A and B are shown apart, each in its own frame.
Chain A
Amino acid sequence: MSIFSIGLSGLNAARNALYVASNNISNVNTPGYNREVVMLSEKGAGRGVQVADIQRQFNRYVAQQLNAANSRTSGLEAYHGQVSQIDNLLADQDAGLAPLMQNFFSAVGDLAAHPSDPAARQGVVGNANTLAAQFRSFDRYLSDMTDGVNGQLHDQVTQINNLTGQIAHMNRQVALAKAKVGKAPNSLLNQRDHLVAELARHVDINATVQDNGTYNISIGNGQPLVSGNRHFKLETLRSDADPTRIAIGYHDSGGNLIELTDETFSGGTLGGLLKFRDQSLIPTRNKLGQLAASFAAGINQVQTAGVDIEGNAGQAMFAVGQPRVYSNARNTGTASMSASFGDISQLTSSDYTLQVTDAATGTFKVTRIGTRQSFTATLDAGNQLHLAGVTLTVANPAQLADGDTFELQPTRAAAGGMDNLIQDGSLIAAASTSGGSGNNENALALEKLQRQDLVGGAATVSQAYASLVGDVGNQTSTVQVNLKAQQGLSDQLTKVQQSQSGVSLDEEAANLIRYQHYYQANAQVIQAGASILDTILRLR
């Protein structure tokens, strides 16, 4: 064995090691890059050294843990980003609904003191206008947020489809490379793992590695998003139960588009957005609607019990959006329902699903969305159901079919439709039915409403608003705390992952020095070989 070839193998190995070190250094900031390590081995007995492998420092289990943690973190980030906007909306104590309701009632108090004063009457009208406008603008803010969430859901779905497409493509590339050279290049694997990590931020996934090295990725209940080199797309669609709600649909292998429930997604930005919509946005909007409807009904009841300045019976003061009920798009029957407010004190801020359990008798199973409590309700002689402060009328019960469902949203639209119907101050019913320009009994009754439990029969309007503020504050602060904890977990796992796969410049600098010396030493070996050869050649 020649000293030259041994030296040469060393030079070779040293150069390779230097390449790896420089590659590590150059990729120190590359996202998804995993540090590489040169594995040297003996070439054989006394035949020098060889590069056995350039190993990618990647721990699948740590990566999976980190992906799962990041998925939860980005879900909470999305939730937090949204719910903070409601939190901010309620932050301004001077511009919120509470002071405007207070102003309204103090204008009514003023009216009680001066029942025939046109200025006092106009004061009530003006405050009623401002209050109604503020209810609408609050609702508009929340409805704009709903639109924003819908738009973001669409973007998320697009990005998820892109990523799953790329992962499927990478699966194919990896398989091809394996078939060709028996081993996939590290850079390809890095890219694929990076795509999976990216995907996990958008949606919580379950990734499994097949024996042939391809990744299979599924969501929720096991619906595959990537299977080998195929990928299955998600799509945003109008929910069957409520056409105004955007839901996530799934194209299965048979080409069918299936609506997935929101609960399918628990993590990732997509899951965070859906959770925000279902647990914070809709409840807040419903509570606002409940407040608006209860307030309006209370005022209208007193207003219509009195007489205006001309002695005419008082008219309703506030209009609010009526309850909404939707027939499920998949219903087999063609019955339609309409809804209107009933006993307002029974009104809740929940939505309800009504399922026909017996079409012949008009029996429904009513489930409260959110708490999942359910009870049975049967159509009365007028084809009506009275539940949760709403009166539902079935136009033609013969068209009901077993299993049909309807979704009832009692208060979702209430605040958005709030309006002050009285623009002429003289129409305010300050007097009781006995009339008289100095009669202020009804104004006193109106003023007293602020201390009555108008909302759900259990809270004053101001208490209901306070509880709305408290709820949003609690939700936001809970998400904040969870996010902080989850962020810590993500950070911790990132540290672990980086300790294995991350590049340390100090370490690489040491490697550079080491391998430079290694190279120089091997060059010296060749030099030594040459001088030995010279010595021998000089022997004459």
Chain B
Amino acid sequence: MRVSTRTLYALSTRSMNNQRSQLLHLSQQIASGRRVVRPSDDPQAASRAVQVSQAQAVNQQYTATRVSARNALSMEENVLGGVSDAVISARTLILEAANGTLSDADRASVASQLEGIFHTLVGQANATDGNGRYLFGGYQNNAKPFVTDPVTGDITYAGGNQTRRLRVDASRLMSVGNTGAEVFEGAQGTHGFLAVADSGNGGSVTFKGPNVVDTTDPGYGTPFTVRFGIDAGGNATYEITDGAGTTLQAAQAYTPGQSIEYAGLSMQLDGKPVAGDTLAVDQAKNFNTNLFKTFEKALAALKSPVQDEADRARLRNTLDNTLSKFDNNLDNILMVRAKVGSRLNELDVVDKVAGNRKINYAQTKSNLVDLDYVQAAAEYSMRMVGLQAAQKSFVSMKGLSLFNYM
């Protein structure tokens, strides 16, 4: 075949151009460390890399969210630790005060210690996070969740009844707090039922219990009232009524120290009643469960002087109730704390999983778009040889002209 001079030059330059552009591409890859410099280098890989990056970013985002969640939960955990310690100390003080040998002055001193604990607790209940947001405010975390009524001095919960949840992983929304109501008004635990003596009782009836004896009793769980009376013979009686005063069990003779049993519960009663004295029995959760109100009642009882048997009975009943309620509150607080702890544990587990995922994603992305340097370097030197060969052959071909011999 005839080969024109232009073809010779064109072929050589084209081959050098090709080699050079391939070298350029390789050097771009080497400089960027990426096999896929532009989407056209490997469209599928480029497209998947976008999605892997998205997965990476989301993983990263959840990791950041978990940091927030851990901060919030750890802070709550700390506060709950303080709260449970405070309740335990308060319980000890109440036990101390229940000692019948204490004088009014002794009790006043206990009361002042208890008051100190009370104020600490109120402070804890209104604790804030680093940003000034109330820990136990629920959704209403920009105002004090526990407010003191300026007139009555009662402390009530004014926060929200929902808590913030955070997405700590793709399919896990985690509560990162508890409302004040959940922590300080929750009644859980050993004392499922409570008996409360009416504050207007004039007699000296005290009680122990109630204890659950028969959960299969048809009346089990329903509230009732033990109402004392004096019969025509001047002997004390008791009857059992419902809340409205309707008789559930007719009046019977009452002997101090006797046990009564009703609706699957048993109570031991002692002391002398006067007619019209009552004891209300119900599930603990249906009585006041607000820790602060319990404190207030206990404080009021401790501060009032004990002059007769009736006062003594009132004090004793109140302190007994307080102890039961403290126990219930404490159980509740410990349970909340345990839940917080388990969530913190869960965060650790998720962190570990996310850490593995992070490595996997990085590996996947690297496999998709990153350069195999060894291969690239080898190819680079191979192309270099190719280009040099093309250049050499061009130069030597240039010398091969008949005109050189004329």
Q: Which residues does A use to contact B, with CB under 8 Å? A: 28-29, 35, 84, 87-88, 90-91, 93, 98-99, 102-103, 105-106, 109-110, 112-117, 431, 434-440, 444, 447-448, 450-451, 460, 462-463, 465-467, 469-477, 480, 491, 494-495, 498-507, 509-510, 512-513
Contact B7 A503 (CB under 8 A): no
**CB within 8 Å for A88 and B38 given contacts A498-B4, A502-B6, A504-B4:** yes
- The 7 A-B residue pairs with the shortest CB-CB distance in the complex, in nearest-first order: A502-B4, A436-B139, A473-B39, A473-B43, A470-B47, A476-B40, A438-B141
Contact B6 A439 (CB under 8 A): no
The CA of A93 and the CA of B215, in the complex, are separated in Å by 68
* Dominant secondary structure at the A interface: helix
Interface residues of B in 49-108 (CB under 8 A from A): 49-51, 53-54, 57-58, 60-62, 64-65, 68-69
Q: Determine whether B216 belongs to the interface, using a CB cutoff of 8 Å to chain A.
A: no
**Which residues from chain B contact A117 at a C-beta distance below 8 Å?**
131
With both beta carbons as reference points, the residue of chain A lying nearest to B39 in the complex is identified as: A473
Given known contacts A91-B37, A494-B10, what 13 new A-B pairs fall within 8 Å (CB)? A103-B57, A109-B65, A116-B133, A436-B162, A438-B141, A444-B167, A466-B47, A466-B51, A473-B42, A502-B6, A502-B7, A503-B6, A504-B2
Contact A477 B40 (CB under 8 A): yes
Stretch at the interface among B200-208, B299-307, B398-406: B398-406
**Can you report 21 residue pairs joining A to B where beta carbons are below 8 Å apart?**
A87-B40, A91-B37, A93-B53, A114-B131, A438-B139, A439-B164, A440-B164, A440-B166, A444-B165, A462-B54, A475-B40, A476-B43, A491-B14, A495-B7, A498-B7, A499-B4, A501-B4, A504-B4, A505-B5, A506-B401, A513-B406
Contact B39 A91 (CB under 8 A): yes
The CA of A463 and the CA of B402, in the complex, are separated in Å by 64
**Which residues from chain A contact B401 at a C-beta distance below 8 Å?**
505-506, 509
**Which residues from chain B contact A465 at a C-beta distance below 8 Å?**
50
**Which residues from chain B contact A447 at a C-beta distance below 8 Å?**
167
With both beta carbons as reference points, the residue of chain A lying nearest to B1 in the complex is identified as: A499
**Which residues from chain A contact B396 at a C-beta distance below 8 Å?**
none
Contact B47 A467 (CB under 8 A): yes
**Which residues from chain A contact B7 at a C-beta distance below 8 Å?**
494-495, 498-499, 502
With both beta carbons as reference points, the residue of chain B lying nearest to A484 in the complex is identified as: B18
The CA of A116 and the CA of B160, in the complex, are separated in Å by 15
Contact B167 A473 (CB under 8 A): no
The CA of A61 and the CA of B264, in the complex, are separated in Å by 112
Contact B39 A470 (CB under 8 A): yes
A470 touches which one: B43, B62, B69, B162 (CB < 8 A)?
B43
The CA of A510 and the CA of B2, in the complex, are separated in Å by 14
Contact B42 A116 (CB under 8 A): no
A473 touches which one: B46, B160, B166, B406 (CB < 8 A)?
B46
Contact B6 A462 (CB under 8 A): no
**Which residues from chain A contact B250 at a C-beta distance below 8 Å?**
none
**Which residues from chain B contact A470 at a C-beta distance below 8 Å?**
39, 43-44, 46-47
B31 to chain A, nearest CB (A): 13
The CA of A29 and the CA of B10, in the complex, are separated in Å by 11
The CA of A226 and the CA of B109, in the complex, are separated in Å by 118
Q: Determine whether B374 belongs to the interface, using a CB cutoff of 8 Å to chain A.
A: no
**CB within 8 Å for A28 and B5 given contacts A444-B165, A473-B46:** yes
The CA of A505 and the CA of B403, in the complex, are separated in Å by 8
B366 to chain A, nearest CB (A): 13
A438 touches which one: B65, B69, B164 (CB < 8 A)?
B164
Interface range on chain B: under 10, 10 to 19, 20 to 34, or 35 or more? 35 or more
The CA of A480 and the CA of B48, in the complex, are separated in Å by 21
Q: Determine whether B210 belongs to the interface, using a CB cutoff of 8 Å to chain A.
A: no
**Which residues from chain A contact B51 at a C-beta distance below 8 Å?**
462-463, 466
The CA of A105 and the CA of B54, in the complex, are separated in Å by 10
B33 to chain A, nearest CB (A): 12
**CB within 8 Å for A437 and B50 given contacts A476-B39, A503-B5:** no
Contact B2 A500 (CB under 8 A): yes
**CB within 8 Å for A109 and B133 given contacts A438-B138, A499-B7:** no
Contact A114 B139 (CB under 8 A): no
Contact B61 A109 (CB under 8 A): yes
Contact A99 B57 (CB under 8 A): yes
Contact A437 B142 (CB under 8 A): yes
**CB within 8 Å for A99 and B53 given contacts A439-B139, A467-B47:** yes
**CB within 8 Å for A499 and B53 given contacts A436-B140, A470-B43:** no
A435 to chain B, nearest CB (A): 7
With both beta carbons as reference points, the residue of chain B lying nearest to A496 in the complex is identified as: B1
The CA of A497 and the CA of B57, in the complex, are separated in Å by 57
The CA of A509 and the CA of B170, in the complex, are separated in Å by 80
Contact B4 A473 (CB under 8 A): no
Contact A106 B57 (CB under 8 A): yes
The CA of A438 and the CA of B142, in the complex, are separated in Å by 8
**Which residues from chain B contact A105 at a C-beta distance below 8 Å?**
57-58, 61
Contact A436 B160 (CB under 8 A): yes
With both beta carbons as reference points, the residue of chain B lying nearest to A439 in the complex is identified as: B139
**CB within 8 Å for A109 and B167 given contacts A29-B6, A466-B47:** yes
With both beta carbons as reference points, the residue of chain B lying nearest to A450 in the complex is identified as: B58
B75 to chain A, nearest CB (A): 13
**Which residues from chain B contact A476 at a C-beta distance below 8 Å?**
38-40, 43
Q: Determine whether B180 belongs to the interface, using a CB cutoff of 8 Å to chain A.
A: no
Contact A435 B139 (CB under 8 A): yes
**Which residues from chain A contact B186 at a C-beta distance below 8 Å?**
none
**Which residues from chain B contact A460 at a C-beta distance below 8 Å?**
54
**Which residues from chain B contact A500 at a C-beta distance below 8 Å?**
2
A472 to chain B, nearest CB (A): 6
**Which residues from chain A contact B162 at a C-beta distance below 8 Å?**
434, 436, 439
Contact B166 A112 (CB under 8 A): yes
**Which residues from chain A contact B335 at a C-beta distance below 8 Å?**
none
The CA of A471 and the CA of B39, in the complex, are separated in Å by 9
Contact A113 B46 (CB under 8 A): no
The CA of A88 and the CA of B28, in the complex, are separated in Å by 13
Contact B54 A98 (CB under 8 A): yes
With both beta carbons as reference points, the residue of chain B lying nearest to A507 in the complex is identified as: B2
With both beta carbons as reference points, the residue of chain B lying nearest to A466 in the complex is identified as: B50
With both beta carbons as reference points, the residue of chain A lying nearest to B129 in the complex is identified as: A114
A111 to chain B, nearest CB (A): 11
A101 to chain B, nearest CB (A): 8
Contact A448 B167 (CB under 8 A): yes
Contact B64 A110 (CB under 8 A): yes
Q: Determine whether B273 belongs to the interface, using a CB cutoff of 8 Å to chain A.
A: no
With both beta carbons as reference points, the residue of chain A lying nearest to B5 in the complex is identified as: A505
Q: Determine whether B137 belongs to the interface, using a CB cutoff of 8 Å to chain A.
A: yes
A504 touches which one: B3, B44, B137, B369 (CB < 8 A)?
B3
Q: Determine whether B362 belongs to the interface, using a CB cutoff of 8 Å to chain A.
A: no
A498 to chain B, nearest CB (A): 4
B100 to chain A, nearest CB (A): 48
**Which residues from chain A contact B50 at a C-beta distance below 8 Å?**
93, 98, 462, 465-466, 469
With both beta carbons as reference points, the residue of chain A lying nearest to B7 in the complex is identified as: A498
Contact B38 A87 (CB under 8 A): yes
**CB within 8 Å for A505 and B133 given contacts A480-B40, A494-B7:** no
The CA of A494 and the CA of B11, in the complex, are separated in Å by 10
B195 to chain A, nearest CB (A): 39
The CA of A294 and the CA of B62, in the complex, are separated in Å by 24
Q: Determine whether B338 belongs to the interface, using a CB cutoff of 8 Å to chain A.
A: no
Contact A506 B402 (CB under 8 A): yes
With both beta carbons as reference points, the residue of chain B lying nearest to A474 in the complex is identified as: B43
Contact A114 B2 (CB under 8 A): no
Q: Determine whether B382 belongs to the interface, using a CB cutoff of 8 Å to chain A.
A: no
Interface residues as binary, B158-195 with A (CB distance below 8 Å gives 1, 0 otherwise)? 00101111110010010001000000000000000000
B63 to chain A, nearest CB (A): 10
**Which residues from chain B contact A116 at a C-beta distance below 8 Å?**
133, 141-142
A327 to chain B, nearest CB (A): 37
A169 to chain B, nearest CB (A): 27
Contact A436 B138 (CB under 8 A): yes
A90 touches which one: B39, B142, B369 (CB < 8 A)?
B39
Contact B46 A469 (CB under 8 A): yes
**Which residues from chain B contact A503 at a C-beta distance below 8 Å?**
4-6
A19 to chain B, nearest CB (A): 18
**Which residues from chain B contact A491 at a C-beta distance below 8 Å?**
14
